[in-house]
């Protein structure tokens, strides 16, 4: 039997500047989880090409996200931080999961409908199928938990559906190969290889909305910079954006029930609660009955301290200064840089960085699948 150990996996796309929603919804949780969990954190660059194929500086964006991870407090000496496309198993397992998943499952994904909009026929196939890649990201390492925002919960449910179907379809072969573990599937127990991953949705601000429209998620792609607080914004920029944030004319309610139907008010109260590490109810106990003209300055103060996790370390990332490069290189494992020839091909396993070798050791799913999915699979292939 091949027991499943508790493991956390999550990733961030390298597209645009990181903003407050990324920090509160993901990175802040990453830092907290590393104290008690075995964690794998990934810069998911393959996801970034699903909606936009060509990027001006994808390599620079990958470095920027990595710098934000380190500046926020993620420790690469204790946990894995890596670039998704450097591990081929992600794409390989995603293709297998494309064959496991059903088209009907993909058509129900609300994020595809939102991103494709009315022009669905011109959306890329990658945009439709990217939940399969997300499932592969998670299950390649047999991760048991994923910290996600509320909007990603549906994709974790799809990941579970894929794992259930795979485990059921290949239960006998998994058992024969000695690679599975008993996993309850309703009233039945099967020999499964992939765990049923659980989402970790915690805190009062699981989904941060736009400062200009409380019905839309805060986004790096919004044309208005006033709609978001970037992690690289200074205190003056943060205060100005909060001052200009859309609100309604009514005073803040004294109870959370009074936030119903007031999306912008609910968003700002949730941001304050998340930053102060308290609850919406406690925020309203303090500010209930007061106008936004009083609340916004109070919100801007903790934002100025927490919107930019250790800016002194993060700021040089944009300038590519020597101290930044030395600091980043010092945090990397020896040889993490995966050198490539001009034509993009890998120079060979002798140059594989230590982190990639470690990932290969953990990501046994690819080898296991080749062993038992089909009788013609090359058993024992490295």
Residue with tokens 């047999």: 142
pTM summary value? 0.70
Question: What is the rounded CA–CA span in Å between residue 210 and residue 216?
Answer: 6
| C-alpha–C-alpha distance, residues 23 and 238, integer Å | 15
Q: Which residue has the tokens 């936030």?
A: 259
| pLDDT tens for the chain, residues 1 to 382 | 578 899 999 998 887 678 898 888 778 888 888 889 999 999 999 998 887 887 788 888 899 889 888 888 899 999 999 999 999 999 999 999 999 999 999 988 887 777 766 777 878 888 889 899 999 999 999 999 998 877 788 899 999 999 999 999 999 999 888 888 888 877 788 889 999 999 987 666 568 999 999 999 898 878 899 999 998 888 899 999 999 999 999 999 999 999 999 999 999 999 999 888 889 999 999 999 999 999 999 998 754 345 445 454 444 444 433 333 443 344 443 334 333 333 333 333 333 334 334 444 444 333 333 343 444 433 333 3
Say how many residues make up the chain. Answer: 382
CA gap 350, 138 in Å, rounded: 27
Return d(Cα 218, Cα 81) in angstroms, integer.
25
Known catalytic residues? 115, 217, 220
Task: Give the domains, in start order, of the chain with CATH numbers.
Answer: 8-196+330-372 (3.40.50.620), 234-306 (1.10.240.10)
Token reading at 339: 């050198």
Give strand pairing partners of 10: 41
3 state DSSP class of 12? strand
């Amino acid at each position: 039997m091949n027991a499943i150990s508790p493991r956390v996996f999550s990733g961030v796309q390298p597209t645009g500047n990181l903003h407050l929603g990324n920090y509160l919804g993901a990175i802040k949780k990453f830092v907290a989880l590393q104290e008690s969990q075995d964690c794998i954190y990934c810069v998911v660059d393959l996801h970034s090409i699903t909606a936009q194929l060509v990027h001006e500086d994808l390599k620079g964006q990958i470095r920027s996200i990595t710098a934000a991870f380190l500046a926020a407090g993620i420790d690469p000496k204790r946990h894995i931080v890596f670039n998704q496309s450097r591990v081929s198993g992600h794409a390989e397992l995603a293709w297998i999961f494309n064959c496991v998943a059903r088209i009907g499952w993909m058509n129900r994904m609300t994020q595809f409908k939102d991103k494709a909009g009315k022009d669905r026929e011109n959306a890329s196939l990658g945009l439709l199928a990217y939940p399969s890649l997300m499932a592969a990201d998670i299950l390649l390492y047999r991760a048991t938990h994923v910290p996600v925002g509320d909007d990603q919960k549906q994709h974790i449910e799809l990941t579970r559906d894929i794992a259930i179907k795979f485990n059921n379809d290949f239960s006998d072969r998994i058992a024969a190969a000695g690679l599975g573990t008993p996993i309850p599937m309703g009233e039945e127990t099967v020999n499964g290889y992939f765990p049923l991953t659980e989402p970790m949705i915690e805190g009062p601000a699981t989904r941060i909305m736009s400062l200009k429209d409380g019905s839309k998620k805060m986004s790096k792609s919004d044309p208005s910079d006033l709609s978001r607080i970037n992690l690289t914004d200074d205190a003056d920029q943060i205060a100005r954006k909060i001052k200009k944030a859309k609100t309604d004319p009514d005073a803040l309610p004294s109870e959370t029930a009074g936030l119903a139907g007031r999306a912008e008010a609910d968003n700002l109260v949730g941001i304050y609660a998340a930053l102060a590490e308290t609850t919406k109810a406690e925020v309203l106990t303090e500010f209930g009955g007061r106008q936004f003209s009083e609340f916004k300055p109070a919100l801007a103060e903790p934002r100025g301290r927490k919107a930019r996790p250790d800016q002194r370390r993060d700021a040089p990332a944009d300038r590519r200064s020597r101290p930044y490069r030395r600091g980043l290189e010092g945090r990397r494992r020896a040889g993490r840089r995966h050198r490539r020839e001009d034509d993009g091909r890998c120079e060979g396993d002798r140059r594989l960085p230590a982190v990639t070798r470690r990932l290969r050791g953990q990501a046994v799913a690819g080898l296991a699948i080749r062993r038992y999915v089909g009788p013609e699979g090359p058993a024992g292939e490295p």
